[in-house]
Chain A
Amino acid sequence: MAEGTGRGEKLSIWFFVGGLTLLYGLVLLPYGAWVWFAHREAPTVLNQLHPTFWWGLLMTLFGGFYTVRFRPRAGDVNKT
């Protein structure tokens, strides 16, 4: 069900949550991979742990799950 966005709408609140975090993950993940493998990490504390890459991966997985789980489907229109 398209939760929280109103009668007759197809997109759930959780789809927006998933969509935005997925977008951020897809921005951070390749950038994090590039700075890691091109040795371009910013001079931050603990940058040897490659936080941009791992955080980007986590956001991609989280956002991807929510986007797929709450994607608009036929018959999903909110009727409450």
Chain B
Amino acid sequence: MNLDAALIVSTTLMNRQLTHLAPIDMLILILYFIVVIFIGFYVKGSTNTSEEFFLAGREMTAWVAGLSFVSANLGSLELMGWAGAAYQYGMLAMHWYWIGAIPAMLFLGVVMMPFYYISKTHSVPGYLELRFGEGSRGLSAISFGFMTILMSGVNMYSMALVMKVVLGWNISFSIWVGAVTVAVYVMLGGLRSAIINEVLQFVLIWAGAALIPILGLVEAGGWGNLKAQIAQNVGSSDYTHLWTTLGHFRDNPMGVHWTGIVFGLGFVISFGYWTTDFLVVQRVLSANNLRAAKMAPIIGAAFKMAVPFIVIVPGLLALAVLKNPDGSVLHLVGENAVNAQHPYSYNEVLPLMLIRYCGPGLLGLGITALVAGFMSGMAGNVSAFSTVWTYDIYGAFINKKASDKHYVSMGRWSTVVGMLISIGTAYLVANAASIMDYVQALFSFFIAPLFGTVVLGMLWKGATRAGGFWGLLAGTVSSIGMWLYTTFGGAAALSRIALSVDARPMAENLYRALWSWIVCVVVTVVVSYFTEVTPVAKLSGLVYGATTLPDDGAASLWQKPIFWAIVVIVIFFILNIVFF
């Protein structure tokens, strides 16, 4: 018997919640909480030094670091958001998983990781301090710490909101249960605890979500039939192509151009996020040797390529299989357009598909996967925050000569304080939802310029301390300026930033990142030519051309990171051609 859409609609309108958990679902969820808390207590004994607490003792294998690396980015907010985007924009959303991630992850592994790793830095701001001095470190650390803790709060509120919409749970209950659990296991086990939970979460997300595309494709009658049904329902075949509609802004539902996707997303945003965002880089720094550190992002890239199966495919399936009681197509709408006729928003695609196929037991598994995703998102943010706070703010500017034990203690306490600030942010967002958009916009201000600064620092000996600092500052200020311009300047401002009158808001982010990166690079180069060059001897271990890279110990072709990077990039190209 099929789950009738009318049942869902009426249930939602009466109770304002999509479903409820059966006792078996509760059992699955409770088992998860018991295991994560147990892990925190179990690894506490191995987190006594700062290296153990903040970098998991640098003893993770390539597989653990790689899975944790990709999992740190695989939060539930992202899963639900991109499933909704796939419903809204079709396969174009896939670009954020493929061209918007894979080349950058491979570049991190093959080119950048040796410098992060052999410099023995504890963090990305730490690398900036070694390469460009305290000014760049301070600017980067303060902006990162501030944004990270706000993002943790956004994640927390999002989890509470999803639990309220899907299960009818009280917002405060979800916030406090999630926050206390995460605070306990991160405070006890530091990054080690966070990484173990991220690996668990990765498995749980696949266990909880993979049934949706599998059963969905069975229901749709295979990929070919799915494409035909989508074309029929939306009146266009544009939703199932990656590149053919990107020739002009007006030819695709996203309102973007291929230059924005390739250069803005594929180059600047993606490289900025995957190679300089400490939240993800910290996972790779925990690797137990140089080869593991190089392999981890490559392993992560291979798994990242598969993620659209559980995120994008459910969104596409919803376009084909979700129906109203009268058999007509069920249309999901934007959050602001939800009403009695259109009770569901794009962001509810994943929960809707989950309850379509999953009864008691499997539903609990799916909800546990979402909860795990939210909690590991919070843990990732708060563990990165406590590292940057302790090493790059407290240890660098406030108390430089404390004992190692003192810094571990500071790491534990900053975890608790960070979590309390996150809770405050969550309540702030709960009372003014638009703050969430601002927080996410704030995060985007720093990523593109930071990539400009780091990549010039690693690849160009001529980049000076002053060049690095002023380039980073100018890039960040230009990004904020462009955001203000497009936010308050309307369509005319957007058309100037994105270079087309047909550009839609999605294009703004791509082009703003590109311009702010260019500003950062130009200012860094110009200032560097007019300021004192750092002696080459001081750049050893930090810059190409001034560093003799150590052998990573690969004895055979199968052990070489570059070989596996080539395998992954070849598969990446094949996938893009297949779904062109």
Q: Which residue numbers of A lie inside 8 Å of B, CB to CB?
A: 3-9, 11, 13, 16-17, 19-21, 23-24, 27-28, 31-32, 35, 41-47, 49, 51-52, 55-56, 59, 78, 80
Residue pair A24, B365 in contact (C-beta under 8 Å): yes
B195 near A45 with CB under 8 A, answer no
Q: Which residues of B contact A9 (CB under 8 A)?
A: 42-43, 45-46
Interface residues on B, range: 35 or more
Chain A residue with Cβ nearest B31: A23
| A49 vs B204: C-alpha distance when bound (angstroms) | 22
A20/B3 in contact, CB under 8 A: no
CA distance A67 to B35 in the complex (A): 14
The CA-CA distance from A80 to B195 in the complex, in Å, is 17
Q: Are B203 and A28 interface neighbours, CB within 8 A?
A: no
| B residues in contact with A56, CB < 8 Å | 361
Q: Which residues of B contact A80 (CB under 8 A)?
A: 59, 288
What CA separation (Å) do A5 and B27 show in the bound complex?
26
Q: What would 13 more interface pairs be, CB under 8 Å, given A20-B200, A21-B203, A78-B59?
A: A4-B64, A9-B45, A11-B42, A17-B203, A21-B207, A27-B28, A44-B357, A45-B2, A45-B3, A45-B321, A46-B215, A51-B357, A59-B207
Nearest neighbor of A28 in chain B, beta-carbon distance: B361
A30–B42 Cα distance when bound, in Å, is 30
Query: Cβ of B219 and Cβ of A45 under 8 Å apart?
Result: yes
**Which chain A residues lie closer than 8 Å to B56 at the CB level?**
4
Query: Which of chain B's residues have a CB closer than 8 A to the CB of A32?
Result: 361
Q: Give the docked Cα–Cα distance between A44 and B39 (Å).
A: 35
Given A16-B196, A46-B357, A49-B218, check contact A4 B59 (CB 8 Å).
Answer: yes
- Report which of A20, A21, A42 forms a contact with B359, defined as CB distance below 8 A: A42
The reply on B500 being an interface residue by CB < 8 A is no
Residues of chain A lying within 8 A (CB to CB) of residue B360: 31, 42, 52
The residue that A5 contacts in the complex, of B24, B46, B211, B288, with Cβ under 8 A, is B46
Q: Chain B: residues with CB nearer than 8 A to chain A?
A: 1-3, 7, 24, 27-28, 31-32, 35, 39, 42-43, 45-47, 52, 56-57, 59-61, 64, 192, 195-196, 199-200, 203-204, 207, 211, 215, 218-219, 288, 321, 355-362, 365
20 A-B pairs with C-beta separation under 8 A: A4-B195, A5-B43, A7-B46, A8-B45, A9-B45, A20-B204, A28-B361, A28-B362, A31-B361, A44-B357, A45-B215, A45-B321, A45-B356, A46-B215, A46-B357, A49-B215, A51-B357, A56-B361, A59-B207, A78-B59
Cβ distance B102 to chain A, nearest Cβ, rounded Å: 25
- Which residue of chain B has the shortest Cβ distance to A7 in the bound complex? B46
B359 with A35: CB separation less than 8 A: yes
A55 engages B196 (CB within 8 Å): no
**Distance, CA A45 to CA B1, complexed state (A):** 7
- Please, which residue of chain B has its CB at the minimum distance from the CB of A17? B203
One of B2, B52, B321, B362 near A51 (C-beta < 8 A): B362
In the bound assembly, the distance between CA atoms of A78 and B361 in angstroms comes to 36
In contact, A6 and B359 (Cβ under 8 angstroms): no
- The answer to whether A55 and B43 have CB atoms under 8 Å apart is no
B17 to chain A, nearest CB (A): 17
Closest A residue to B365 by beta carbon equals A24
> Is the pair A4, B207 in contact by a Cβ cutoff of 8 Å?
no
* Nearest CB of chain A from residue B430's CB, rounded to whole Å: 31
Task: List the B side residues contacting A11 at CB < 8 Å.
Answer: 42
CA–CA, A11 and B200, complex, Å: 14
Measured between beta carbons, the chain B residues less than 8 angstroms from A17 are 199-200, 203
Cα separation A55 to B192 with both chains bound (whole Å): 30
The distance from the CB of A57 to the nearest CB of chain B, in whole angstroms, is 13
* Chain B residues with CB under 8 A of A21: 203, 207
B57–A44 touching, CB < 8 Å: no
Q: Which 3 A-B pairs have the closest CB atoms?
A: A6-B46, A42-B359, A4-B64
Hey, which chain A residues are within 8 Å of B207, CB to CB?
21, 24, 55, 59
B215 with A28: CB separation less than 8 A: no
Nearest Cβ distance between residue A65 and chain B, in whole angstroms? 13
Residues of A within 8 A of B196 (CB): 4-5, 13, 16
B219 contacts across to A, CB distance below 8 A: 45-46
Contact between A47 and B1, CB atoms less than 8 A apart? yes
- A9 to B45: give the CA distance in the assembly, Å: 9
Cβ of A44: which chain B residues have Cβ within 8 Å of it? Answer: 3, 355-359
The smallest C-beta distance from B72 to any residue of chain A, in angstroms, reads: 15
CB distance from B220 to the nearest CB of A (A): 11
A21 to B362, CA, bound (A): 13
CB distance from B257 to the nearest CB of A (A): 38
